[in-house]
Structure 1
């Protein structure tokens, strides 16, 4: 396919495949990765880049370490090229369509530990019901890497309660409050009036190192004139119920949905958090790269329908028999 390039001094016809190569290189920052996306060899991408460099009289990209760094002209061209390709592809998709029942593509969704436990079963059922041949990969969540992953197309979607810089399209799946969890044998377990701020501050605390709610908890404590006590630190939420049950001196501040499930299956008690802590918003983010947009639209909509507005299947973390029942 050819498009007309209108310059200040000339009118040129540019092969659309050159523009696709440009966008793929820009988004992946790699000739090899761009070739894989376009289903061509790396030399073919290099040749396309060389042709476009001649057409535009600009280097467009230069290698810096392992990445292809865009020039100033490339940065200015990218939004227009990307949007033009997206418009063309969506127009073609509107005619040809995307049939999830026939798709064999790989879907990659970044999830935290809790996200994988609470949401992945519902996501898997919804996706596989409509698309039985699709491959689904749950990618361990790395909040710092998310902007790069989403902008380069390394992943399709991400479920996270941590803010992601970059203006990526997203939707709030739920607003998550926190509660205080402890053993039934804890000295505060039997209080009927609820635990006080003083009780909470003075209690020995166990925290999960990767909990995205910690910054908001720390802010709530600062407003109360205190600091978070991390007497015990663990790496995974899954270790909390057995630890709390066996350690009557500890308390933990955890999402109230998971605390409720644990209290039904373990000798644990939950209390309302005696602090004004802003709820954590769990969001679904989608990549901004241009490849397979119809498939991405379908996947995004399917995941939103599967988990939007639900509390998640957090009962699975303690082996509840309901985790194996049909939806």
Structure 2
């Protein structure tokens, strides 16, 4: 089989099946009928002489041949998309592009407000979407074009990813106004003697603060663990629980604060994108928008 004779739409459908593992969702996403998806898969199976996907418990599980194909297919589709977009000069005021970010709710709280304020002014028809994507999936999502950017701490070092610092924010210990801990001595034993709230989307495991305390041979008393940053401020305002979080959020939530009585590196968020989008007009414009503002905040003039 010669690949140049293969219908490009078949590769689009192949990538969608690999990603979604469900023919119905693929049909809905691509706005075609499910029989059309099944027919395309059958044509690919015949051309490639492999089942490509096997049905198991309502999911389509890729065969080893499909696993071997997916990276090349995604790279080819992304290359074609760039070729189509490259000749057109990007005009923010006219753009109706939907830009997809991967970030957790902490990053959303810090990034989305300032970003949307600028985008609304310069690109009023542009749409911003944000998803919580696991780190192990970010590279594939960026490579496939399903994501345009990720905002995360700089823990991913992959040759295909580019990143630059977006913001740096110190941590503080926040509590309700009038909390007894706001007066008097404030040393590490006083901090450890308090009851803490910890926000994490994971069911268990240590957080950034706990790892830093462990290096000192210490442990705090986490009395409450919640999933979202939305609920924590109300709990802190109504109880004697304290919360270690970035200073900007504590200020936004109207909480009283004290500096941490131990060394903790500030929160660092980086803007991350795939190298294939390096020259994309929309990507370059958004990177400039975000990173120029970041340079001011980080103190680089």
One of 7, 27, 36 as aligned partner of 1:44: 36
One of 65, 79, 89 as aligned partner of 1:87: 79
One of 64, 76, 86 as aligned partner of 1:72: 64
Q: 1:102 to 1:42 in 2, by over 3 A?
A: farther
One of 168, 183, 186 as aligned partner of 1:195: 186
Partners of 2:34 and 2:122 in 1: how far apart? Answer: 34
Q: 1:241 to 1:70 in 2, by over 3 A?
A: closer
CA contact (8 A) 2:89 2:281 kept: no
Aligned-CA RMSD value: 4.3
Alignment of 1:1-327 (within 5 A): 4-5=2-3, 13-96=5-88, 99-139=91-131, 141=132, 143=134, 147=138, 150=141, 156-161=148-153, 169=161, 171=163, 172-183=165-176, 185-191=178-184, 195-210=186-201, 215-234=207-226, 236-238=228-230, 243-244=235-236, 247=239, 249-261=240-252, 265=254, 268-271=256-259, 273-285=260-272, 297=283, 301=287, 304-305=290-291, 308-309=294-295
CA contact (8 A) 2:53 2:60 kept: yes
Q: What is the CA distance between 1:31 and its match in structure 2?
A: 3.2
Report the TM-score when normalising by structure 2: 0.73
Q: What is the CA distance between 1:254 and its match in structure 2?
A: 1.5
1:237-296 Cα offsets, whole Å, 9 max, x none, are: 45555655555x54321212323555xx55x2322x222334443244558999xx9587
CA contact (8 A) 2:12 2:77 kept: yes
Partners of 1:217 and 1:146 in 2: how far apart? Answer: 25
> How many pairs does the alignment contain?
294
CA contact (8 A) 1:58 1:73 kept: yes
Partners of 1:69 and 1:81 in 2: how far apart? Answer: 17
SS in 2 for 1:230: strand
* Structure 2: 5+ residue stretches without partners: none
Q: 1:42 to 1:233 in 2, by over 3 A?
A: closer
Q: What is the CA distance between 1:108 and its match in structure 2?
A: 4.2
1:161-208 Cα offsets, whole Å, 9 max, x none, are: 4967998836342344322223564444244xx722222212232333
Q: What is the CA distance between 1:229 and its match in structure 2?
A: 0.4
SS in 1 for 2:46: helix
The higher radius of gyration belongs to 1
**Residue matched to 1:325:** none
* Structure 1: 5+ residue stretches without partners: 6-11, 313-327
1:93-144 Cα offsets, whole Å, 9 max, x none, are: 22245555444454444544433333222222333334323343444x3648
